[in-house]
Structures are given as structure tokens and as C-alpha cells.
């Protein structure tokens, strides 16, 4: 039995593993880098070990540090979670060497599956369908390349053998693109994985991503725990996952289960793993096997009622699986969305920040595995996954409705996320059919357009109405209610609010309540804010509907939660501290003196605070610095030159 588990990960999965450890009756020890000291998971563990160092390589990616932490904490097992070193055989071996139980498969199984080309060979031997492919060595000439390619068939993908995550991947539709694509893929593969071996693989035009959860024990028993569908992806990263897979014929589904078990058996798999397939009209094809707990394991847990982490710990302890294949069945349907701090419309650019307020939706059938709580910081140093929201229902439609509603009820202030994209997907008709393929999200930029423009305007309006009449208005010295009162004309409060899409000006006018709000040049609404609790009732003039929003202000961050979701704005109130740096421009002599040194030349690019000229005056040397970033366009002085006060010395053009 494992007594004390070292959780070698962070964020939401660390919390999941801590919970799993506690459920299994063992203690959990967290590890944390300095910037994670205040993360919720650290406090939830029974003990925590600081991983010294500032870089990932020194902390969560350092096998010696992790094993050292396990020893220091007296842990008898180590769970790697997902990501980081979760599929790293060296860590598994280091654990073994230190006498710490590795919660995962054998290093050999990980090595085989980590090498894409070798994995395919092995899988094919086990009788599992694979896509036609051919390995291309660095020595292959153009002729060899062409013949390998025609064997595979077009269109095809060039992939790094050691790769993953889409890196080093190239799509080739015609023979003439082949050579360049291979060369490029080799370069990327070397840079990313240290090996220039690539292989060609048949490309499917519109496949769906279906995967089978498997689990094996040390007694050689291997079961499948049904399937999941993860076709909604953005650039090879899953966004929406569900269990079971939709729109798969029962016969095919069974073949995939059997195939997955066969793959696991082929590597004597111990622990939980996932065998991924691409599915299209012609059948299913092995894609890869992930030798760890998946991000999306929760949907399997919801439909099967199993605790995958608990099973992992049991199997790692050497216990036999406590269930047989016939015990595994699905009840209803579960859907998960990955809530990330990112801006979908800017190529999913991460949007780290501080969540000033979070309220996670609760209700029947809902599960939220989350990394953050109110006040948590999402650091740019780590993955942008903030939470996994899952809903379980009697069928797919029920689960989707539940999840969509939960998303709308989520209050998350101060942090920009992909919530509106997730909501748009759940509402989308194509997604509703269950037939979305892996290109679905990338081919639907409309879904990335944050919220509907009208809804964004409404949220702006609610935020602005609140700023005039709500919390910020309570500071008047006049002791009778007179918010926004004017005897001549109307109060006019102008706020500039920035969200992921851009900056909109909101003008709030009117005497007292309700206030009239104008967003942009013409859109209007009438808002009534009730004093302290941040509630704003907004009646829009375009559709005549009244909606209720809850607005919270934390410093300059405004969080608006409404019936259709949430927006976070940054308020540019005119009393805000001016955060602009200095403006580059002219550097003039502050006093008469002699130029003793010139530190820059025309054409140089300077940052704010960079030295430009050293001026000797009154027996002191004064370094004159750039007021702001820019380029030096003209020097007006030379060493030895006498200058008078205010003489122009350097011209810097702002960048």
C-alpha cells in the first residue's frame, strides 16, 4: 500500500491527485516552485516541498528535484500527473532507483510509445489498423522520398518520429511540395526533439478523434474503460471532450475497445493509459498511445462511476484490478470543456492575470476540476488551463445544456478566458449533431469572436452604469441621495473599457437613476444599479429586454457577469495612475557643462533609461538618459563640446 504520495505536478491536476490520494487513504505531498506558493493545491496537501529555482527545468521538469522532494518528504510513491515529466522514462527509472513507487507504466512501455514510428510498427504487429506510413531517414534522396510517399499516398503528413503536439508536422498534398516539407520538418524536429528522423503518414481529410481509456495491472490483466471523443481541438489541443464518443457504430466501437486492449497488452501496460484513434468513414486508425492519466479522464469517471486515480494507486501498489471488464458500463453522457486563460481570436494567445473573484457553478451533475480560486494568479510561466468544467446528464443533450448553463453562471473576474468560445461551441448546431471533426474549430473562426457584439456592448454598458451609480458613486460628500445629479444638463461619465476585443468608450448620462448609457457612438441602454451588491438592471433600447448583470470592481479591473456569460474589462478612468512610460524625444542639457562622453550613435535603438550622453558640469559627471524607448535619429553634440542649459543634445524618435 502507498502511504504517502508525492504529487509531482501543479494546478488542477495536483488538486485532483491530492483528492484521489486522500480518498485512497494516503497522505499527499505537494511540490511547488516559488511562484506557486500561494496556489490552492499547495495548501490542500498534507505537506509541501519547495522546488528551488526559477525555471521549469529546475523545478517541475527536474527529475532529480522531484525525486529529492519525494525522499525529503518520506513519500513512498510519486504520481507525475500529466504534462511535465509524466511520460518521461528517466523519471520513472530515477524513482525506481530511489525506492519510490512510480505511479505509471514501465519505462519501456513509455519509451516505445514515445517513439511514434516504433509505436506504429508494434501496434501493426498486434493487428491494429494504422495509417500507411514510411520512415524517412536523413540520408533519403529525392527518389527514395518520392517512392516512399507514393507508397503512403497523398495527401500525407510529415511528422517527427520523436515528436508530439503537432510540432514538426507538415501537410503535403502534392508531390512537388514533398521535399521542402520534409526538409522543414527535419529542421524543426532537430530543434524540438534533438532527432531529425521523420516519417510520412497518410493524412485523413476529416477524421474524428476517438480514444479508448485502458488500464492494466501487474498481474497482466488489461481492461478498457470505454471511449471518449475529443474532436473539438484547436491546433491539435483538445478543447471539448466527452464520453462516450458520439456517432460511432457499435461494431466499430467494440473493435476499437479490443484494439486498445491489444495495444496495451503488446507493451505489458500497467496503470492507466489512453489509446488514441482517428476515425473516418473508412474505419479507425491508431494515432498514438498516451502513457499517463489524461486531462480528460474526468468524463470517463462521470459515466463509469470509477475513480481512475484510485485505480492507478491500487495498481501501482501491486494490487490486482478490483473489477472485471463486465463491470465496466456507461451511464448517461459526460462533456468537459477546458477553460483556459487565453484569447481565442488572437491565435489563443495566453492571457495570464489575477482572478480577483471566482464563483464556480454548482449543481446536480456538475464537476469542476480547477486550478484557481478567488485571488489566484495565473502565471505566464505555466499552462493556461484554469479549470475543467464537466457536466453529466442522462444523454448528450442534457449534459451539454447543463454545461452551457454552468459556463454562463461562472463568475470569473479579472481574468480573460476562452469561456465565450466554449459557450459558442456548446450552442453550435454542428457540435450538436456530434459530427464535428478535428478541423471543426479551426474552420470556424466565427466561434472565436468572443461574445456577440451586442452582448459585449451590454456588458460594457452594465459596467459603465455601475461605475457611475454603483460602488464608485457612494463616495459623495453630499449626505442625501444625489448620484449623478445635475441642475444643468446631465451627468456625463466617460469610461474607456478594454477587453480582449478592444477598447470601447462608454458614456453614462442622466440625472440619478436610471442612467442612460451610450456605448460607442450610438448604442444605448438604460441602466439602474443598486448600491452595494453590484447588481445592474439593464434595459437595452434595441431589443427592449431587461437583463441583470453583476458587476465587481477590483482596482481597475471590472468583472461583469451576465445571463450570457462574463467579461473582464480594464477601466481607463481618468483618475487612474498614468502607467505610460516616458516619451522619447529630445534630450537637452539640464545645466551648462561639457560633453565628456557620447554613449550612443545615430541609428541606435534605446530603451527608456538608457544612457545617451555624459555631461561634466560643476565637477560632477551627469549621465543623461532616454525618457522613453526609441531610435536615435540625430546627435547634436560631440565629446568635448561646451553646451548651455537647454541645448538640444540628442533627438530620439519614439518607437
Partner 1 sequence: MSAPLRSRLAVAGDEFRDNAAAMGALVDEVRALHDDVLAGGGAQYVERHRARGKLLVRERLEALVDPGTPVLELSPLAGLHTGDPVGGGVVVALAEVARTQCLVIANDPTVRGGTTSPTTIRKLLRAMDVAEENRLPLLLLVESGGADLPRQADVFVPGGEQFRRLTQLSAQGIPTICVVFGSSTAGGAYLPGMSDYTVMVEGRARVFLGGPPLVKMAIGEDADEEELGGARMHAETSGLCDYLARDEPEAIRMARGIVAHLHWPRLGPGPVDPPDEPLYPAEELLGIASVDVRVPFDVREVIARVVDGSRFEEFKALYGAQLVCGWASIGGYPVGVVANNGILFSPEAQKGAQFIALCNRSDTPILFVQNITGFMVGTRYEQGGIIKDGAKLINAVSNSTVPHLTLMVGASYGAGNYAMAGRAYDPRFVFTWPNHRIAVMGPKQLAGVLSIVRRNAAAAARRPFDEAADEELRQATESQIEEESTAQYATGRLWDDGIIDPRDTRTVLAIALTAVHSAPVRGTAVFGVVRH
Contact set with partner 1 (CB under 8 A): 467-470, 472-489, 491-494, 573-576, 578, 583, 646
Fill in the DSSP letter of residue 332.
S
When the beta carbons of 82 and 485 are compared against partner 1, the nearer one is 485
Strand 4-7 with 27-33, pairing: parallel
Instruction: Report which of 276, 253, 252 is spatially closest to residue 264, judged by C-alpha positions.
Output: 276
When the beta carbons of 316 and 464 are compared against partner 1, the nearer one is 464
When the beta carbons of 439 and 556 are compared against partner 1, the nearer one is 556
When the beta carbons of 281 and 477 are compared against partner 1, the nearer one is 477
Minimum Å gap between C-beta 443 and partner 1 is: 43
Minimum Å gap between C-beta 469 and partner 1 is: 6
Minimum Å gap between C-beta 592 and partner 1 is: 15
When the beta carbons of 28 and 468 are compared against partner 1, the nearer one is 468
Minimum Å gap between C-beta 11 and partner 1 is: 38
Instruction: Report which of 652, 623, 622, 654 is spatially closest to residue 635, judged by C-alpha positions.
Output: 652
Query: Is-contact 113 267, C-beta < 8 A?
Result: yes
Minimum Å gap between C-beta 515 and partner 1 is: 9
CA distances from 626 to 522, 530, 567, 596 (A): 42, 48, 38, 17
Instruction: Report which of 166, 580, 570 is spatially closest to residue 351, judged by C-alpha positions.
Output: 570
Which residues partner with 172 through β-bridges?
156
Long-range CB contacts for residues 134-140, cutoff 8 Å, separation at least 24 = 134/199, 134/200, 135/161, 135/197, 135/198, 135/199, 136/182, 136/197, 136/198, 136/199, 136/200, 137/197, 138/186, 138/196, 138/197
Residue 191 CA from chain centroid, whole number: 23
Radius of gyration of the chain (CA): 30
Minimum Å gap between C-beta 207 and partner 1 is: 54
Minimum Å gap between C-beta 646 and partner 1 is: 7
HEC profile of 214-258? EEECCCCCEEEEEEEEEEEEECCEEEEEEECCCCCCHHHHHHHHH
Minimum Å gap between C-beta 586 and partner 1 is: 10
When the beta carbons of 236 and 646 are compared against partner 1, the nearer one is 646
Minimum Å gap between C-beta 473 and partner 1 is: 2
Minimum Å gap between C-beta 559 and partner 1 is: 18
When the beta carbons of 45 and 483 are compared against partner 1, the nearer one is 483
CA distance 536 to 534: 6
When the beta carbons of 205 and 579 are compared against partner 1, the nearer one is 579
Alpha-helix residue ranges (DSSP H) falling in 317-428: 396-409, 419-427
Fill in the DSSP letter of residue 520.
T
Strand 27-33 with 47-51, pairing: parallel
When the beta carbons of 320 and 481 are compared against partner 1, the nearer one is 481
Query: Is-contact 542 523, C-beta < 8 A?
Result: yes
Q: How many residues does the chain have?
A: 655
When the beta carbons of 377 and 570 are compared against partner 1, the nearer one is 570
Amino acid at each position: 500500500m502507498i502511504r504517502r504520495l508525492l504529487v509531482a505536478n501543479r494546478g488542477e491536476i495536483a488538486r485532483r491527485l491530492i483528492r484521489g490520494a486522500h480518498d485512497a487513504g494516503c497522505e499527499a505531498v505537494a511540490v511547488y516552485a516559488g511562484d506557486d506558493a500561494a496556489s490552492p493545491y499547495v495548501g490542500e496537501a498534507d505537506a509541501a516541498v519547495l522546488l528551488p529555482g526559477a525555471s521549469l527545468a529546475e523545478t517541475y521538469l527536474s527529475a532529480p528535484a522531484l525525486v529529492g522532494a519525494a525522499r525529503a518528504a518520506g513519500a513512498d510513491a510519486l504520481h507525475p500527473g500529466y504534462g511535465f515529466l509524466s511520460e518521461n522514462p528517466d523519471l520513472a527509472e530515477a524513482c525506481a532507483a530511489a525506492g519510490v513507487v512510480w505511479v505509471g507504466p514501465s519505462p519501456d512501455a513509455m519509451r516505445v510509445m514515445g517513439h511514434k514510428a516504433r509505436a506504429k510498427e508494434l501496434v501493426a504487429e498486434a493487428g491494429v489498423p494504422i495509417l500507411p506510413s514510411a520512415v524517412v531517414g536523413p540520408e533519403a534522396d529525392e527518389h527514395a522520398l518520392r517512392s516512399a510517399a507514393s507508397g503512403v499516398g497523398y495527401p500525407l503528413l510529415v511528422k517527427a518520429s520523436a515528436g508530439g503536439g503537432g510540432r514538426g508536422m507538415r501537410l503535403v498534398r502534392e508531390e512537388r511540395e514533398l521535399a521542402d516539407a520534409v526538409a522543414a520538418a527535419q529542421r524543426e524536429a532537430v530543434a524540438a526533439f534533438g532527432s531529425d528522423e521523420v516519417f510520412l503518414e497518410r493524412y485523413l481529410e476529416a477524421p474524428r478523434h476517438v480514444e479508448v481509456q485502458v488500464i492494466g495491472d501487474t498481474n497482466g490483466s488489461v481492461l478498457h474503460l470505454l471511449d471518449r471523443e475529443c474532436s473539438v481541438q484547436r491546433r491539435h489541443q483538445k478543447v471539448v471532450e466527452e464520453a462516450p464518443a458520439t456517432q460511432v457504430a457499435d461494431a466499430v466501437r467494440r473493435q476499437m475497445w479490443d484494439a486498445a486492449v491489444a495495444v496495451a497488452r503488446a507493451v505489458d501496460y500497467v496503470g492507466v493509459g489512453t489509446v488514441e484513434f482517428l476515425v473516418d468513414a473508412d474505419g479507425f486508425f491508431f494515432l498514438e498511445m498516451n502513457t499517463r492519466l489524461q486531462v480528460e479522464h474526468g468524463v470517463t469517471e462521470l459515466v463509469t462511476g470509477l475513480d481512475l486515480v484510485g485505480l492507478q494507486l491500487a495498481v501501482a501498489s501491486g494490487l490486482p484490478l478490483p473489477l472485471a471488464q463486465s463491470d465496466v458500463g456507461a451511464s448517461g453522457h459526460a462533456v468537459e470543456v477546458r477553460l483556459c486563460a487565453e484569447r481565442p481570436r488572437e491565435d489563443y494567445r495566453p492571457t495570464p492575470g489575477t482572478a480577483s473573484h471566482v464563483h464556480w457553478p454548482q449543481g446536480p451533475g456538475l464537476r469542476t476540476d480547477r486550478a484557481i480560486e478567488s485571488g489566484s494568479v495565473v502565471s505566464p510561466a505555466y499552462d493556461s488551463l484554469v479549470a475543467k468544467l464537466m457536466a453529466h446528464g442522462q444523454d448528450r443533450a442534457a449534459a451539454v445544456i447543463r454545461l452551457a448553463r454552468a459556463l454562463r453562471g461562472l463568475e470569473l473576474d479579472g481574468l480573460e478566458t476562452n469561456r465565450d468560445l466554449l459557450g459558442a461551441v456548446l450552442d453550435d448546431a454542428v457540435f450538436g449533431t456530434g459530427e464535428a471533426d478535428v478541423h471543426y474549430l479551426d474552420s470556424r473562426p466565427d466561434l472565436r469572436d468572443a461574445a456577440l457584439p451586442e452582448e459585449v456592448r451590454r456588458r460594457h454598458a452594465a459596467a459603465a452604469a455601475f461605475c457611475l451609480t454603483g460602488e464608485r458613486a457612494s463616495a459623495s460628500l453630499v449626505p442625501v441621495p444625489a448620484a449623478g445629479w445635475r441642475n444643468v444638463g446631465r451627468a456625463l461619465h466617460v469610461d474607456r473599457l478594454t477587453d480582449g476585443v478592444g477598447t470601447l468608450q462608454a458614456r453614462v448620462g442622466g440625472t440619478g437613476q436610471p442612467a442612460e448609457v451610450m456605448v460607442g457612438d450610438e448604442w444605448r441602454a438604460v441602466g439602474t444599479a443598486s448600491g452595494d451588491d453590484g447588481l445592474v438592471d439593464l434595459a437595452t433600447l434595441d431589443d427592449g429586454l431587461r437583463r441583470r448583470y453583476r458587476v465587481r470592481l477590483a482596482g481597475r479591473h471590472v468583472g461583469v457577469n451576465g445571463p450570457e456569460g462574463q467579461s473582464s474589462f480594464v477601466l481607463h478612468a481618468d483618475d487612474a495612475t498614468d502607467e505610460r512610460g516616458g516619451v522619447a524625444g529630445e534630450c537637452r542639457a539640464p545645466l551648462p557643462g561639457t560633453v565628456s562622453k557620447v554613449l550612443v550613435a545615430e541609428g541606435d535603438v534605446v530603451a527608456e533609461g538608457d544612457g545617451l550622453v555624459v555631461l561634466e558640469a560643476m565637477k560632477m559627471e551627469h549621465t543623461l538618459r532616454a525618457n522613453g524607448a526609441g531610435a536615435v535619429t540625430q546627435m547634436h553634440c560631440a565629446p568635448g563640446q561646451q553646451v548651455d542649459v537647454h541645448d538640444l543634445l540628442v533627438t530620439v524618435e519614439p518607437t
